Chain A
Amino acid sequence: MSVQTKPPAVTGRGGAGGKGGKSGESGEGRVLNVFSHGVLVIWGLLVTMPLLWAVVSSFKDDGEIFGSPWGLPSALHFDNWARAWDKANMGQYFFNSLVVVGGSLIGTMLLGSMAAYVLARFDFPGNRFIYFLFVGGMGFPIILALVPLFFVMKNMALLDTYHGLILVYIAYSLPFTVFFLSGFFRTLPSSVAEAALIDGASHTRTFFQVMLPMAKPGLISVGIFNFLGQWNQYLLPTVLNVGDPDKKVLTQGLVALAVSQGYKGDWSGLFAGLTIAMLPVLGAYIIFQRQVVAGLTAGALK
């Protein structure tokens, strides 16, 4: 990772005062700058060191992990990665996560925007009631619902299935999605939709061909929020997805891996598994960081 190159260059500048010092910035400012840079660099290190440590450890053998936790690996043990991917099933878990999150993300976006659109732009009896029913779901502790949910799923034969998990992910993503998107749809101008209707488009067609494209920025924000939330979901699969070891999603699989490798003493395999789970998300974040940050903060600033 290229992150290491940054901090030294930054600290050097604090006291040296390359271009500052002119605009009435007194001694207080200078001291504070050294101080603030120091604090910022320390937190930067605190954030990156554990991640780097995990990546470096994934290339070591077990002896090195125990013998010199902070040292560099003597040779690059790529076999750790291969072992984690094949033997410890990380490949399968990755695939499971892709299937479940892919399905639930599409479902959440489609159903969420449909419900939000109707609730935001149409007057009908019960509108407010349904809206608050959805939005109320944001504040309740999920753990309370889990016990009965387990049995609801069991009776419908949905435990340990992809589609069961997909449905539950959708259901628990709806409150925020509906809340956010109905706020968004309300801000869109109604003249465009009316024009489409006058031109003879049906309500459904207006929604899919006019309103949905106009809502794209909001959809992207919610999409990112839901993707991260569903990809990183741990509580729901831990309870609802326990029967079949091959159906585990990545987060669950990782914890299972930690438990089993802990018994076997295969620490290097474990670090490799951790790195396999970590790097793709970090990579995707670095590429799309603008959108990710905008998406998540838009959600919370609302």
Chain B
Amino acid sequence: MQHGKYRFIAGFLVLPLAIYAIFVISPFVQAIYYSFTDWTGLSSDMRMVGFDNYTRLFKDSVFWASVGNSVTLLLLLPVVTLSLGLFFAFMLNVGGRRRKKAVIGGVRGSGTYKILYFFPQVLSIPIVALLFQFAYNPESGALNAFFNAIGLGGVQPDWLGDPQLALWCIMGAMIWANVGFYVVLFSAGMSSIPKDFYEAALLDGANRFNTFFRITLPLLWDTVQTGWIYMGILALDVSAFAFVQIMSVGPGGPDYSTEVLPLYVYQKTFRDGQAGYATSIGVSLLIVTLIFSAIVMRLGRRERLEF
């Protein structure tokens, strides 16, 4: 049994670890180092500049605009997406009218709804982003054409071109893309809640509102929390980058109204040749992410309900 065990372990671990160390770990460590240099990213010379990059952050108004937008996304996106997901999932699984024997049940056709709602989740972000970009297009887009058709021809917003609206438009697309996943996820969670809990509640005369807040939500709390963190990371990182980069004018505009932290890191590196400064923005993004996860963990810590 022990014979050759360590050779086997080493043999199985060496390749995955090597790939992971080269392409994931080492870049992360390097990033932190680069954030203390004045590296341009174009040549190999760089100088240690201590905390200069970080003090520069404080005076950079675009940085603060992107912090503001990222935090807005971070706060609103999970709330709206998860609430819609919970609401629909409840409707589909518990909210239906009661049939003969079943104590609880979803509305009719709930299976079909779940399949439909999940559609956006399998599409890539560029597809969704481009789709919405066309829909928002002020001249030929579906939205303004719809306003025309219902007699609101006078209301023709500039959507993505309007600094007041642009971020909300992008957020709309992100919500659209993610709600379906949570409907399905929460549905799976809800179906594992024992039926007799609902039976007892119904006997006590609970209505749907009470059922949801007293039974479904508390028992689903772990899943909601996982979803919250997952959605928060999307709002800060990859997803926000892709949506803003593809949809917004500039990108990041108009007038930095949609600039977000990951996009700013990208632009500073590959457009402005300030890789050192860019990594210090990245480090601040990491800090925001860590604070966010810590808060969610802390807020979410409550008695675990066993069933």
Contact = CB atoms under 8 A, between A and B. Distances in A.
Interface of A: 3, 6, 9-10, 13, 19-20, 23, 25, 28-30, 32-33, 36-37, 39-40, 43-44, 46-48, 50-51, 53-54, 57, 65-66, 68-70, 111-112, 114-115, 117-119, 122, 124, 130, 133-134, 137, 139-152, 167-168, 170-172, 174-175, 178, 197, 202-204, 207, 228, 231-235, 238-239, 250-252, 254-255, 258, 267, 270-271, 274, 277-278, 281-282, 284-286, 289, 292-293, 296-297, 300-301
Nearest to A66: B140
Main secondary structure, interface of B, reads helix
A141 B20 contact: no
Interface residues of B, number: 105
A19 B283 CA distance: 60
A51 B130 CA distance: 11
A171 B119 CA distance: 28
A36 B98 CA distance: 14
Given A130-B17, A141-B286, A258-B130, A285 B118 contact: yes
A282 B123 contact: yes
A94 B262 CA distance: 27
Given A39-B87, A50-B132, A293-B114, 19 more contacts: A6-B109, A33-B96, A33-B97, A115-B16, A115-B17, A140-B289, A143-B282, A144-B286, A147-B275, A168-B23, A171-B23, A171-B24, A178-B16, A203-B5, A251-B124, A254-B127, A258-B246, A289-B115, A300-B185
Interface of B: 1, 4-6, 8-9, 11-13, 15-17, 19-20, 22-28, 30-31, 34, 41, 84, 87-88, 91-92, 95-100, 107-109, 112-127, 130-135, 139-142, 145-146, 149, 176, 179-181, 184-185, 188-189, 207-208, 223, 226-227, 230, 233, 236-238, 241-242, 245-246, 261-262, 265-266, 269-270, 275, 278-279, 282-283, 285-286, 289, 293
A6 B293 CA distance: 41
Indicate the member of B8, B118, B122, B236 with the most A CB atoms within 10 Å.
B122
